Structure formats: structure tokens, C-alpha cells
């Protein structure tokens, strides 16, 4: 059974259709990439899954349960965590404090009570701190754990945001362009972190990413959107070779694919000319 299912999801903003009957199914433990040109509806789909938007039609199932109309604030408690295109951290707080906020869906006594160590809150705070320290160690943030987030390099801030999502101990992690704006070295670190989260922590990952090298390297499953419609859905290699995808998206950014397509067309034309000119051997 799929861990995440979107069934015939449509989303309208007035007369504009951001999504038009989009369906997908993500298996447990999978890394699924959602790709497509700018404005294709990728973030809108993630926003529907995470309940930021309510679809105009269709439904979303997580682990067999319909979550289409649950309140947004309950999503994290179901086991779904999310990062955003633009860093959404508390820049005036430390790395440790930001990651502790990622534990909010697991806190029974509330942040205020936990902060002043009243009764059961002290033991609960210690348990949450242990989870956060594990995430800090896992993502290599030990050296900046007490530093204010706003003063950290961009790539480190992106890792902190990933850490805050991971601190919620999700079973499904939604990542919206996690490598946008990063240097090559920062991208490599983020790729390794995503793979480790998937392989070592067993977390299913759905990500939006424009770097096609990254998508093809780490994704078992790729869904392609264009103008709000799904135009391809399959493994990375089959999607990469899909002519519709090449024209709609990959062809815009991957010169290698464009060149290969031209060469194939030229070879076919040359073969046709030879055949028409009687280039074949005698019987």
C-alpha cells in the first residue's frame, strides 16, 4: 500500500487552475521527486499535501487515512514534516532553540511549562532535548548549536531548517527546493543528508528540486508536472527519456538530452535517405 496518495487533486485560484486532476502514489521508504518548469504546480501540490491549501477537488491519503480536511496544525502530529523554498527559521534564536521548536507536536505540557521545569515538564523537556541533540549530531551542527541562526551561512541555515523538520521525527518529509541557492559543496552535503535520512532513519522523502543531476541521482520515483497537469510518472531513467518530459522540461535545461535527440533525428533521416537512394545491398 502506498504511504502517500493524492487522488485527482485540483486546485483553483479564481479562474486559474494551479492543479488539474493530479494523482500520485508514493511508496514507504521511497525518495520521490516532483519536477517541472516554473509555475507547473509543484509547490501547490506540496501545499495541498501539507494542508496549507485545501484542494478544490480530490483527496489526499496518508497511511490509508484521508487527511484532505484535517486542520493544518495537526499535520505534524500525523508524522508529516515540511521545509520551504524560503528559509522559515526564527533568525533571533539559536540552532538548538529552533530545533526544539520542531518538537512542538510531541509536547504535552507546552513550551512555557517545559521552559520553567514544572513537574512532569522537566522530564519531558529532557526527552525532547535528547532527540534534538541526536539530530544536531546527525546533521553535523554541533559546532553551531549555540549560535544564533541569523548569523550563520545560508547553506548552514538550510541544514538547520532540515533539522527542525527532522526533529519532529516524521515518517514523511516534504522538501521544497532544499538545495536552491547553494554552492556545489553545500549541495553535496544536503544530498548526503537526504540520503542518510532516507536510508538510516527510514523516512519517506518527497522533494521538489530543479537540479536534474540531483534528481536523477537520488530519486527512485519522479513525477513531472506541466501547467498543473501530470505529464509523466515513473522511475528516473524512464522519465528522463520520455519525449513529453524532454519537450516540456528537461529539454529546456539539459543540452545533453537536446543534442542526443537531434543526433537521433539526424541519424534516422540519414538512414531514410540511404534507403530512398537505394543504399541497401543487393539480394
* Short-list 60, 70, 66, 71, CA closest to 26: 60
Q: Which among 164, 184, 219 is the end of a domain? A: 164
Q: Which among 140, 164, 188 is the end of a domain? A: 164
- The per-residue pLDDT for range 5-49, each reduced to its tens digit, is 999 999 999 889 999 999 999 999 999 999 998 889 999 999 999
User: Which phi and psi angles does 41 have, rounded to 5°?
Assistant: 110, 10
- The per-residue pLDDT for range 181-232, each reduced to its tens digit, is 999 999 999 999 999 999 999 999 999 998 988 999 999 999 999 999 999 9
Domain residue limits at 266: 4-79+170-273
d(CA 137, CA 239): 36
Q: Has residue 73 been placed in a domain?
A: yes
Q: Has residue 279 been placed in a domain?
A: no
Q: What pLDDT is recorded for position 4?
A: 98
- The per-residue pLDDT for range 84-120, each reduced to its tens digit, is 988 889 999 999 999 999 988 776 655 555 555 556 6
Q: What is the DSSP string of the chain?
A: --SEEEEEEEEEETTEEEEEEEEEEE-TT-EEEEE-STTSSHHHHHHHHTTSS--SEEEEEETTEE-TTS-GGGHHHHTEEE--SS----TTSBHHHHHHHTTGGG-SS-HHHHHTT-THHHHHHHHHHHHHHHHHHHTT-GGGTTSBGGGS-HHHHHHHHHHHHHHT--SEEEEESTTTT--HHHHHHHHHHHHHHHHHS--EEEEE---HHHHHHH-SEEEEEETTEEEEEE-HHHHHH-HHHIIIIIHHH-HHHHHHHHHHHHHHHHHHHHHHTT-SPP-
Q: Has residue 190 been placed in a domain?
A: yes
Q: Which among 123, 140, 164 is the end of a domain? A: 164
Amino acid at each position: 500500500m502506498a504511504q502517500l496518495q493524492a487522488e485527482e487533486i485540483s486546485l483553483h485560484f479564481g479562474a486559474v487552475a494551479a492543479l488539474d486532476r493530479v494523482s500520485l502514489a508514493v511508496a514507504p521508504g521511497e525518495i520521490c521527486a516532483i519536477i517541472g518548469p516554473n509555475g507547473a504546480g509543484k509547490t501547490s501540490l506540496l501545499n495541498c499535501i501539507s494542508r496549507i491549501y485545501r484542494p478544490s477537488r480530490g483527496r489526499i491519503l496518508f497511511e490509508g487515512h484521508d487527511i484532505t480536511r484535517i486542520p493544518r496544525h495537526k499535520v505534524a502530529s500525523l508524522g508529516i514534516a515540511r521545509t520551504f523554498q524560503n528559509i522559515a527559521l526564527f533568525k533571533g534564536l539559536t540552532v538548538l532553540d529552533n530545533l526544539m521548536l520542531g518538537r512542538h507536536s510531541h509536547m504535552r505540557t507546552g513550551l512555557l511549562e517545559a521552559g520553567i521545569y514544572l513537574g512532569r515538564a522537566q522530564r519531558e523537556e529532557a526527552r525532547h532535548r535528547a532527540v534534538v541533540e541526536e539530530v544536531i549530531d546527525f546533521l553535523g551542527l554541533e559546532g553551531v548549536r549555540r549560535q544564533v541562526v541569523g548569523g550563520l551561512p545560508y547553506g548552514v541555515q538550510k541544514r538547520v531548517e532540515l533539522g527542525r523538520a527532522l526533529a519532529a521525527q516524521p515518517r514523511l518529509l516534504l522538501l521544497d527546493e532544499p538545495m536552491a541557492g547553494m554552492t556545489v559543496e553545500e549541495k553535496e552535503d544536503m544530498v548526503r543528508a537526504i540520503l542518510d535520512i532516507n536510508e538510516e532513519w527510514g523516512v519517506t522523502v518527497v522533494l521538489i528540486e530543479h537540479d536534474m543531476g540531483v534528481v536523477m541521482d537520488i530519486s527512485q520515483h519522479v513525477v513531472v508536472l506541466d501547467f498543473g497537469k501530470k505529464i509523466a510518472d515513473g522511475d528516473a531513467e524512464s522519465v528522463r527519456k520520455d519525449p513529453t518530459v524532454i519537450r516540456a522540461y528537461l529539454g529546456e535545461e539539459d543540452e545533453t538530452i537536446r543534442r542526443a535527440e537531434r543526433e537521433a533525428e539526424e541519424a534516422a533521416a540519414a538512414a531514410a535517405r540511404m534507403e530512398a537512394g537505394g543504399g541497401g545491398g543487393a539480394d
